[in-house]
Amino acid sequence: MTAAGNTLNLIADQLNQLCQTRATGELVVGNSQYQGHIHLLSGRLLHATAGIHSTRRWNRITQRLAPQWTPNPQELMSPQMWEYQLLYQGITTKQLTVMQAKAIIRAIAQEVFFDLGCYADATIEWHETQKNATEIALSLSLSYLEVEPDLNRVTQLQQQWQGAGLGNLSPTLAPVLKAGIDASALGGLGQYLNGQFTMWDISVHLGKSVNSVANALIPLLKKRIVQLKKIADLPHPLANLVEPTDADAPTSGSLRSPEKRDALIACIDDSPVILQTLRKILEGAGYRTIGISEPMRGVAKLIESQPDIIILDLVMPNASGYTVCKFLRQTSVFEKTPIIVLTSRDTLIDRNRAKLVGASDFLGKPPDPEKTIALIEKYLDEVAEQGNEIENATLKVSSSAR
């Protein structure tokens, strides 16, 4: 067994154990050069990704498996697990079937597994999280019985890769033809030896396995007429959702404490304009945000992210805000989460009705920046106080037990 094959066997063993215990969390595998993240939900593979070439990988796999699909990353308000969010979006907009989405998840996982197998010194760490599974999220995930054949196949391919003398070379590298060599003499392969395409990219363009591409490159590498180099990833589709620039950063007078600044605010509204407005207000003050335009279909996203505060529109075409609020309050995860209702109808009747279904407070529409931040700070303080009360109670119990 090769050292790389041993890495894949370690991953397989770890996944098998975690799936049997229906674990939820993140399996981090890699070394200083390459790191993969395997997300599990109730023992099922939700998503796998890696820091190197995540956009290249996404583009080539989706173009191959769903060429007619045009995802809209601008509707996402959080870069976390963006690939999974886009797949979920594709299903809810009926541009993708669940079968197509799962095929994409499998293809991405296979590439990540293969790349991890290139590193014999990879380490494995498990980070458990407390998340509740939902029927929606579970339908867009893979059981270990579905993942195991892929891992076995990838292990075989890795053994062939190592047996071909490629050692620890990664298919994320791009081949470059030496100057003065006629590319046309190398057939179809030659046009991709310009340092712009990784071996993974070339395999898709030629319709061959990455091992076939590597085998074709071996004699060229031995003759030193081709070299391999690292290349940058393609532009991230969610580049606008990265950390705020200096111009967008909060002023010194509006800086939040580290705990508050790390708070996650969920915004539920069918209007992209309102979602964008809230994102600008909240992220400008240093908070993280997640946007949901279809509340009942976005329950999985809410449960996965577990926001500190929820801002909920009362009037939406496909769902009543009152119904959504009541549903969230009946869910143990959000039983005590502050829910701020966003409404343009701020009457006594509306307020009473919203209070009856569990709303914590009200915010006018369109949202005013100062009032929005004031409410967020108010309820974050309350959440912090509740946490302190629980901690103090725990300390008292511990002391009395001694």
**Which amino acid is located at 308 in the chain?**
D
∠253-258-260 over CA atoms, to 5°? Answer: 80
**Which amino acid is located at 210 in the chain?**
V
For residue 311, what are the β-bridge partners?
267, 340
CB 214 within 8 A of CB 161: yes
For residue 301, what are the β-bridge partners?
none
Burial of 148 (0-12, 13-18, 19+ CB in 10 A): middle
Q: Is the predicted pLDDT of residue 242 greater than 70, yes or no? A: no
Comparison of pLDDT for 160 and 132, the residue scoring more: 160
With bands split at pLDDT 50, 70 and 90, how would you rate the model's confidence at 314?
Answer: confident
Quote the pTM value. Answer: 0.60
CB 127 within 8 A of CB 25: yes
CB 47 within 8 A of CB 72: no
- And the tokens for 339? 């829910």
For residue 30, what are the β-bridge partners?
35, 123
pLDDT tens readout for residues 254-287? 333 434 557 899 998 888 788 888 988 888 888 8
- And the tokens for 402? 């001694």
Q: Is the predicted pLDDT of residue 371 greater than 50, yes or no? A: yes
- The pLDDT of residue 108: 96
Question: How many other CB atoms sit within 10 Å of the CB of residue 310?
Answer: 26
- And the tokens for 286? 């240093």
pLDDT tens readout for residues 176-229? 998 888 888 888 898 999 999 999 999 999 999 999 999 999 899 889 999 999
Comparison of pLDDT for 4 and 144, the residue scoring more: 144
CA–CA distance, 163 with 19 (Å, rounded to integer): 31
CA–CA distance, 90 with 71 (Å, rounded to integer): 7
User: Rounded to 10 degrees, what is the CA torsion of 152, 158, 159, 162?
Assistant: -170
- The pLDDT of residue 284: 82
CA atoms within 13 A on the CB side of 327: 14
Mean pLDDT of 113-131: 83
Interstrand relation of 35-41 and 44-50 (parallel, antiparallel or unpaired): antiparallel
Q: What are phi and psi of 313, to 5 degrees?
A: -75, 135
- The pLDDT of residue 320: 79
* Domain ranges across the chain: 3-163, 174-229, 245-394
CA–CA distance, 174 with 201 (Å, rounded to integer): 9
pLDDT tens readout for residues 140-189? 889 999 999 999 999 999 988 888 888 767 899 999 998 888 888 888 89
Dihedral sign from CA coordinates of 127, 128, 132, 133: positive
Closest CA to 137 of 83, 88, 76: 88
Percent of the chain with pLDDT over 70: 82
Which CATH number applies to 245-394: 3.40.50.150, 3.40.50.10190, 3.40.50.2300, 3.30.830.10?
A: 3.40.50.2300
CA–CA distance, 72 with 187 (Å, rounded to integer): 37
∠224-229-235 over CA atoms, to 5°? Answer: 150
